[in-house]
Structure 1
Amino acid sequence: MAMKIKVPVIGLNDSGGARIQEGVASLRGYTDIFLRNVMASGVVPQITCIMGPAAGGAVYSPALTDWTFMVKQSSYMFLTVIILCTHTLRFTFIFLSNYTHTHGPDVVKQVLFEDVTKEDLGGASIHTKKSGVSCGAFENDLDALARCAHKFFFIFFKAKIKKIREFYDYLPLSCDDKPPQYQCNDPRDRSEKVLDRIIPDDSNVPYDVRDVISMIVDNGEFFELYEDWAGSLVVGFARMEGKTIGVVANQPKQSAGVLDIDSSIKGARFVRFCDCFNIPIITFVDVPGFLPGTAQESGGIIRHGAKLMFAYAEATVPKITVVLRKAYGGAYCVMSPSHLRGDAFYSWPSGEIAVMGAKGAVEIICRGKDMEAETKDYEEKFSNPLVAAKRGFIDDVITPSHTRRIICQDLELFQNKDLKNPNKKHGNMPLDKKLILDIYDIIIPLIISKNHRTNQFHCENVQRFFWKHIKNNN
């Protein structure tokens, strides 16, 4: 019905999982729901509020929706993983929701001999801070309803809910509609002089990019998503002259604003949602590069970073980018530069657009020479936006306090933008490669035969067996 009349879907989940007594019929019911989630993806916004347990198959529907919120201390999401081994030593990976008639912590205890609580396994703190499954958590059920779905539930909870509409009011009804527009009393030409001095003189000194965002958007109102996860990148919704915009910004206050695996995924998902529902994207750039290290490289940072680039390149909505300070190397390439079909690309005078920072570049280029003098020379030549401006890579070097006015003008200019992607079935986004090693790194499996109680291996033996099998098959 929601797809037919083009309105959003809001789900309130409180489920213990599939009903075991119904057998495969209950699984079919779940799968029918999952299919509809997939078919509605990109057609109408889908929002889920987890207001109790969501175990086993019940977690897949929230995972397929656009935004999942949880309630602190009372909502849980978990899916148990068990590895079975056949007689031919070919591994089959099966995700079980009702193993031996138990869920979550009980399954973990039986299989991995680990005592965990529901909160430790899949509480709001886990999914908002570590897994990134949930984009936010609320104090209680009433707060969740008020903030996520107030427009729908106001008529039913009018006496109890008095908060302003927040999240839902940023979204259009469907992919065929433009985002809602509200009356705005914040003038376009409002000038925030604080912005002219908000960037520290020392490029290694951090600042809070949320302060920049709040001084540019309407009335300083910014609805941040995934606030506690992948903090080096900030994403969320705001308004400019009453119209919804999506904001993506590097956060120098955390890890110097570097991009890592989680922040790349976070940004890519948000950009694709905005593109699905005609929401213009404003990007504020201050990024020194990608996070180095073996953990990131072995975790697939190349593939995950490519997701963010893919999302920006594929997006056809208005895209406006402002370089606040650093824009180095490969990270510059993925943060919506003009080369990825961006509509407007600006830099503040503090912008540093280069392959890398001065110190690292001089160490490579000028070995054995006067490093201090060469570093100063490099900074004068490259650690500024003028080189990029001369080559036409940026449209203008703008005064920070004029940023709001310029963005508002551009949003008005590009509001009827009509850009089409090449005709194709769909693109092949660089998604995760499901390697057997990924599973090995996540859990310590038990190899279980038909009678699992009499054929259990100790964890060390299982690890040796598992690793030997991988090496033999490679």
Structure 2
Amino acid sequence: MGERLLTLDTGTMRERTAELQGIKDEVERGSAKATEQQHAKGKLTARERIALLFDEGSFQEVEALRRHRATGFGLEDKRPYTDGAVTGWGTVHGRTVFTYAHDFRIFGGALGEAHATKIHKIMDMALAAGAPLVSLNDGAGARIQEGVSALAGYGGIFERNTRASGSIPQISVMLGPCAGGAAYSPALTDFVFMVRDTSQMFITGPDVVRAVTGEQISQNGLGGADVHAEMSGVAHFAYDDEETCLADVRYLLSMLPDNNRQAPPAVSATDPVDRRCDVLHDLVPTDGSRPYDMRQVIEELVDGGEHMEVHERWAINVICTLARLGGQVVGIVANQPRSLAGALDIHSSEKAARFVQFCDSFNIPLVTLVDVPGFLPGVEQEHGGIIRHGAKLLYAYCNATVPRISVVLRKAYGGAYIVMDSRSIGADLSYAWPANEIAVMGAEGAANVVFRRQIAAADDPESTRAQLVKEYKTELMHPYYAAEAGLVDDVIDPAETRRILIRSLDMLREKHAPLPVRKHGNQPV
């Protein structure tokens, strides 16, 4: 494949067009043997993936006839069309999306100069057009035969990833190996999708790990989809097959704006905006020590109970998800009492901060559901830099200019209450349910500090402690204390939460909050 050249002899335009079409058909078919080998690995070809991603018949390829110009090292007789990268644009749900896809059948998808130049061009086109970019990654890294030219190609991709960040949505779909410096491009994008067993990401592979550290590990054990979805947090989504993965990429795109100058796409709400959520009265226990599943709360509040959770299996003590309220896209950040009682730790702070930052970049309003006992205590957390990592979430919220609404469902203690988009850091509206407890710390801990001497001097310390805890709760932790102090805008019926959120978001839709003039802030990293 790819060795035919357009003839230069005379002929009619019809004949030349027919010859051109023949070459393009051959390019699209590719090598039958290479296609069989790709399928034998349980993987689709680049063009099969593109067909699943885009609306039928909408894909327009760019530079299909591009070939490398390298000579020597065995490449002079192998100059296939496309050079192993399929690039172009099409529509997803009728909206323009750009893509580049590594074709593993050609040079193992390895990146060379022409290959990289094609990717640079499509990235520039996506940014200029103000449309999302989806990369379908299945490549063997830099093309060794082209030396430093291949490495420079990666540099150009990284620079464009960074320039496009916050301007257009960037999605990386990992469908094969991704090793070494190539892994940094997905890490610079907004979302990373992976497929189990067939996709891996790592900086140094198992052979190098074994040589340097003596550790024995497989490719999937080192950098497979489950590893990155559960342990490292590199992957936002993981799937069993490519078809399901690409279907969810389409679904995610349906909730994102084309660029940072547009609002997310709205749909007509089929779920009544004034629907009461009476089940919430029984779903959330008033006893702050009893766990419950915050996902059930989210499903009750959002349109049709549908939402797309980001990092579902990493840092599970906080939930970050995209959903719709009244047909409008929102980003929801919520503590998860089923894990670590909903306390914030290093990983959950990073996870939520990144999500808040993404939503703010693309004009997606934020709803924060608060039930947090504090930051997770412990030597490991302190030595790991919980102060620095917690500050990332604080910075992200304080820096966000999109509409921001918080709802305190139950407990909200200490610095974690402030960090979870409290009024004091700029939330536009703050609501609370009737069982809320907003305080510096829980009543037991507070009483032990405030009344330490009184308890120690009592004839019956335990009885005295219990009485003082009760008094502290009555005076400083009753549900209306925060409202009386102006720290929440209203104490609301849980069943009315959906209606109130939708009305509040409608009011805030035209919110404008200018930032100070500066190049950029120096956020904690």
Residue 388 of structure 1 pairs with residue 482 of structure 2: yes
SS at match of 2:367: strand
Residue 121 of structure 1 pairs with residue 206 of structure 2: no
Counterpart amino acid of 2:202?
A: F
Structure with max Cα Rg: 2
Counterpart amino acid of 1:109?
A: R
* Structure 1 residue 78 displacement after superposition: 0.2
Aligned to 2:473: 379
Counterpart amino acid of 1:403?
A: T
How far apart, CA to CA, are the structure 1 residues paired with 2:357 and 2:351? 10
* Structure 1 residue 53 displacement after superposition: 0.5
Aligned to 1:270: 355
* Structure 1 residue 391 displacement after superposition: 1.1
The equivalent position to 2:232 in structure 1, one of 131, 139, 164, is 131
Counterpart amino acid of 1:117?
A: S
Residue 418 of structure 1 pairs with residue 512 of structure 2: yes
How far apart, CA to CA, are the structure 2 residues paired with 1:70 and 1:46? 15
The equivalent position to 2:433 in structure 1, one of 348, 360, 378, is 348
Using structure 2 for the length normalisation, give the TM-score: 0.74
Does the 8 Å contact 2:286/2:410 carry over to 1?
A: no
* Structure 1 residue 184 displacement after superposition: 1.2
Aligned to 1:217: 302
Counterpart amino acid of 1:12?
A: L
Counterpart amino acid of 1:269?
A: R
Aligned to 1:46: 170
Aligned to 2:388: 303
Describe the superposition over 1:10-41 as per-residue Cα deviations: whole angstroms up to 9, x where unpaired.
01111121122322111100000000000000
* Structure 1 residue 383 displacement after superposition: 2.5
Counterpart amino acid of 2:482?
A: A
Aligned to 1:409: 503
Describe the superposition over 1:278-320 as per-residue Cα deviations: whole angstroms up to 9, x where unpaired.
0000000000000111100000000000000000000000000
Aligned to 2:410: 325
* Structure 1 residue 213 displacement after superposition: 0.6
How far apart, CA to CA, are the structure 1 residues paired with 2:353 and 2:234? 14
Aligned to 1:168: 253
Does the 8 Å contact 2:186/2:192 carry over to 1?
A: yes
Aligned to 2:107: none
Using structure 1 for the length normalisation, give the TM-score: 0.82
Does the 8 Å contact 1:352/1:383 carry over to 2?
A: yes
Describe the superposition over 1:202-227 as per-residue Cα deviations: whole angstroms up to 9, x where unpaired.
21000000111111110110110101
* Structure 1 residue 147 displacement after superposition: 1.2
Aligned to 1:279: 364
5+ residue gaps, structure 2, are 1-124, 456-463
How far apart, CA to CA, are the structure 1 residues paired with 2:276 and 2:222? 48
Describe the superposition over 1:412-443 as per-residue Cα deviations: whole angstroms up to 9, x where unpaired.
10000010110100000011xxxxxxxxxxxx
Describe the superposition over 1:258-288 as per-residue Cα deviations: whole angstroms up to 9, x where unpaired.
0000000000000000000000000000000
How far apart, CA to CA, are the structure 2 residues paired with 1:329 and 1:114? 42
The equivalent position to 1:146 in structure 2, one of 247, 271, 296, is 247
SS at match of 2:174: strand
Residue 6 of structure 1 pairs with residue 100 of structure 2: no
Identity %: 51
Counterpart amino acid of 2:189?
A: T
How far apart, CA to CA, are the structure 1 residues paired with 2:448 and 2:424? 29
1:459-474 equivalences under 5 Å are none
SS at match of 2:176: strand
5+ residue gaps, structure 1, are 81-103, 151-165, 432-474
Aligned to 1:200: 285
